[in-house]
Amino acid sequence: MHTPLSYLRVFGTFLRNSLVRDMTFRANFLIDTISSTVWVFMNLGFYVLIFHYTPMLGAGTGWGKYEFFLFLATTLLINSLMRGLFLSNAVELSERIRTGTLDFLLVKPIDTQFLASLGRIEWSAIGPFACGLLLLAYALAQLGLVPGPATAALYVLYVLCGVAIYYSLMIAMASTSIWLGRNRALLDFWFYITNFSRYPMEIYRGPWGTPLRHFFTFLIPVFIAVNVPARVLVRPLELRAPADWLLPGFALLATAGSLVVSRWIFNRSLVSYRSASS
Amino acid sequence: MRFARASTSWTILRISLQERLVYRGDFALGTLIRFLPIITQVFLWGAVFSAVEAVSGSRRPVAGYTYQAMVGYYLLTMVSRAFSSMPGLASGVAREIREGTVKKYLVQPVDMLEFLLLTRVAHKLVYYVVAVGPFALVFWLCRGYLPGWPGPEVMAAYLASLLMAFLLGFFLEATIGMIGFWFLEVTSLLFVYMLLSFFCSGHMFPIDLLPGAWGQAVRLLPLQYLAYFPTAVMLGKVTGPDLARGLCAQFGWMLFFLIAARVTFHYGVRRYSGFGG
């Protein structure tokens, strides 16, 4: 009988094993961590450059330099959690389907999606994650904001919702490898889609921007993933008017919906899986 | 002798062309998908320009770029990158050295750099044939952002700079890959190159946005000739003596890396030791 506790224990083993593996190739781990951190700093440089020319992203949106840094920190936290926990697993799942080694996961007495999603943890994502936390603290200090316990709890909750939404999209896309045979464009496609949510959703305006915003909010809810937690910090929730409840409420609904739909796609794809072995 | 050599080159080119055409569907889709990040840039800069307008009360250019010119810049950079980007070249060379398959060039009467160049030319030719559709579609949709057709001199300079961007990109990446003769594992070096190239070539933003010493430092690097320079030529940002100087500098860098690649290969092969059958 599997209990949540036993899954937690297995996850602990994944964490330990991956750490042992990473520490076996220490130089590689160090280079990975440093290079992903340098990447973060170069991106930050680009945004500093942009704010050299403008005080705000979009007229009247309220996303000034440090507000946007809070947004960026949230993106960093969510993306590094995705990279650390799921990215290499999703890529490997696609490869396992092609080579037929998914068999080894199917025969294990544990939920296949759990095993396929979390089997390998990339500890080097800790570099960008730490950058995210530092940037968060720096931007909060610059804005003079001190989030209360309720705001902090809501922020963590919505960051986790963001991770869940991104994860659902990724696992659903990786599952399509079963039908396509191989999905080499998986990573590219995932990056290009989440690329849209690197900026506050308010910048998507006008005859093209509004439909795009609606598409990525309601159909593929990637905008929800970063925007809602970032807003929790920048504009602490004042749930007075019913309209204030809309987006945070919808975010919870979108998270649950994404998880259910991706679970369905994963299970549905497994039915079509034909092992590559004899 | 010369005929035999030309015939070998032609065969290599033909085989590479056929090999590339097998994946034409994947190619076309990949090309369209690569335009997606530009959409984000269009909205990002739209937001920047709207904020600048709201603050100053008038439509002011940013670092000499109007909103139209900025979007046009990103679109035209896609063309420059279509010439200068060499996906998998440096890592492929380094892998062949590490795994020992590089010896096939040493025992056969085929020059490695020539072989790689012809393969790359075939790759690019197929890419252009397949990508012309998606490019034409996107450029037609965004025609309002693009400058009109330039005069014949600018067009000639633009085409020359694109061609040199291709050769510069090829020899630069080949040289980096051949550093593998000394270090075997060049993944981290490649990452550093990719980072530098992304930020300093003008791929991520026009390098004239960089203020003061930063801008001057980046202009000393050859990377600007991979993306920024051809685009700036087309946008009419480099004219007269500056254009001639720029083209000469680009040619100089291309020649430098051609020689560097040859020299690196020459000395690298001397260090190389191949075992097994």
Contacts of residue B104, Cβ cutoff 8 Å, sequence gap at least 6 = none
What pLDDT score does B1 carry? 60
> Which residues does residue A56 pair with via DSSP β-bridges, in sequence order?
A64
Confidence of residue A239 (pLDDT cuts 50, 70, 90): low
Tokens of B263: 């020299």
Cα-to-chain-centroid distance, residue A4:
23
The pLDDT tens digits for A142-198 are 999 888 898 899 999 999 999 999 999 999 988 887 777 655 666 777 888 888 888
Interface with chain B: mutation pick from A29, A47, A53, A196, highest number of B CBs within 10 Å: A53
Under an 8 A CB cutoff, do B43 and A198 touch? Answer: no
CB A158 within 8 A of CB A248: yes
What ipTM did this prediction achieve?
0.86
Selected residues 177-206 of chain B with any CB under 8 Å from a CB in chain A: 187-188, 191-192, 195, 198-199, 204-205
Under an 8 A CB cutoff, do A185 and B33 touch? Answer: yes
How many structural domains comprise chain A? 1
B26: pLDDT strictly greater than 70: no
Question: B40 to chain A, minimum CA–CA distance in Å?
Answer: 6
Question: B73 to chain A, minimum CA–CA distance in Å?
Answer: 16
Would you call B173 exposed, middle or buried from its count of C-beta atoms within 10 A (0-12, 13-18, 19+)?
A: buried
Percent of chain A predicted with pLDDT > 90:
47
Would you call A100 exposed, middle or buried from its count of C-beta atoms within 10 A (0-12, 13-18, 19+)?
A: middle
Which residues on B lie below 8 Å from A202 (Cβ)?
A: 47
Under an 8 A CB cutoff, do A195 and B40 touch? Answer: yes
Q: pTM for the whole thing?
A: 0.85
CB B75 within 8 A of CB B142: yes
In our burial notation (b when 16+ CB lie closer than 10 A, e otherwise), range A17-30 reads: ebeeebeeeeeebe
Q: In chain A, which residues touch B (CB < 8 A)?
A: 31, 35, 38-39, 42, 45-46, 49-50, 52-61, 184-185, 188-189, 192-193, 195-196, 198-199, 202-206, 209, 212
What pLDDT score does A238 carry? 59
Residue type, A268: R
A278: pLDDT strictly greater than 60: no
The answer to whether B23 faces chain A, any CB pair under 8 Å, is no
CB A97 within 8 A of CB A178: yes
Which residues on A lie below 8 Å from B206 (Cβ)?
A: none
A253: pLDDT strictly greater than 60: yes
CB B127 within 8 A of CB B276: no
Under an 8 A CB cutoff, do B51 and A49 touch? Answer: no
Under an 8 A CB cutoff, do A35 and B188 touch? Answer: yes
* Longest Cα separation, chain A: 64
Minimum Cα–Cα distance from A33: chain B residue: B188
In our burial notation (b when 16+ CB lie closer than 10 A, e otherwise), range B196-224 reads: ebbbbbbbbbbbbbbeeeeeeebbeebbb
The pLDDT tens digits for B91-143 are 899 888 888 888 888 888 888 899 899 989 988 888 888 788 888 888 888 88
Question: A153 to chain B, minimum CA–CA distance in Å?
Answer: 30
A72/A234 Cα distance (integer angstroms): 12
A254/A81 Cα distance (integer angstroms): 19
B79/B34 Cα distance (integer angstroms): 12
Under an 8 A CB cutoff, do B43 and A204 touch? Answer: yes
A49: pLDDT strictly greater than 60: yes
Q: How many CA atoms lie within 13 A of A256 on its CB side?
A: 5
Q: Which of A42, A54, A198 lies nearest to residue B51, judging by beta carbons?
A: A54
Interface with chain B: mutation pick from A34, A56, A188, highest number of B CBs within 10 Å: A56
CB A245 within 8 A of CB A150: no
A11/A13 Cα distance (integer angstroms): 5
Q: Which of B43, B55, B195 lies nearest to residue A42, judging by beta carbons?
A: B195
The answer to whether B50 faces chain A, any CB pair under 8 Å, is yes
Phi then psi for B274, rounded to 5 degrees?
-105, 135
Interface with chain B: mutation pick from A30, A35, A54, A208, highest number of B CBs within 10 Å: A54
Lowest mean pLDDT among A20-34, A149-163, A164-178, A226-240: A226-240
B50/B58 Cα distance (integer angstroms): 10
Question: A216 to chain B, minimum CA–CA distance in Å?
Answer: 13
Under an 8 A CB cutoff, do A58 and B50 touch? Answer: yes
Under an 8 A CB cutoff, do B51 and A58 touch? Answer: yes
B111/B96 Cα distance (integer angstroms): 14
Tokens of B28: 């076309």
Q: A56 in helix, strand or coil?
A: strand
Helix axes A242-271, A149-175, angle to 10 degrees: 30
Give the per-residue SS3 of chain B.
Answer: CHHHHHHHHHHHHHHHHHHHHCCHHHHHHHHHHCCHHHHHHHHHHHHHHHHHHHHHCCCCCECCECHHHHHHHHHHHHHHHHHHCCCCHHHHHHHHHHHCCCHHHHHCCCCHHHHHHHHHHHHHHHHHHHHHHHHHHHHHHCHHHCCCCCCHHHHHHHHHHHHHHHHHHHHHHHHHHHCHHHHCCCHHHHHHHHHHHHHHCCCCCCHHHCCHHHHHHHHCCHHHHCCHHHHHHHCCCCCHHHHHHHHHHHHHHHHHHHHHHHHHHHHHHHHCCCCCC
Under an 8 A CB cutoff, do B36 and A39 touch? Answer: no
B117/B123 Cα distance (integer angstroms): 10
Phi then psi for A56, rounded to 5 degrees?
-155, 155
What pLDDT score does A236 carry? 61
The answer to whether B43 faces chain A, any CB pair under 8 Å, is yes
CA-CA-CA-CA torsion for B243, B260, B196, A222, nearest 10 degrees? Answer: 100
A8/A225 Cα distance (integer angstroms): 25
Which residues on B lie below 8 Å from A62 (Cβ)?
A: none
Tell me what the mean pLDDT of segment A115-126 comes to: 91
Question: B52 to chain A, minimum CA–CA distance in Å?
Answer: 6
A75/A81 Cα distance (integer angstroms): 10
Q: Is A277 contained in some domain?
A: no
Tell me what the mean pLDDT of segment A47-67 comes to: 89
Minimum Cα–Cα distance from B54: chain A residue: A59
Which residues on B lie below 8 Å from A192 (Cβ)?
A: 33, 36-37
CB A52 within 8 A of CB B211: yes
Q: Is A219 contained in some domain?
A: yes
CB A80 within 8 A of CB A125: yes
Minimum Cα–Cα distance from B193: chain A residue: A35
Q: A140 in helix, strand or coil?
A: helix
Interface with chain B: mutation pick from A49, A68, A195, highest number of B CBs within 10 Å: A49
Contacts of residue B107, Cβ cutoff 8 Å, sequence gap at least 6 = none
Decide which of A185 and A44 is more confident.
Answer: A44
Under an 8 A CB cutoff, do B39 and A196 touch? Answer: yes
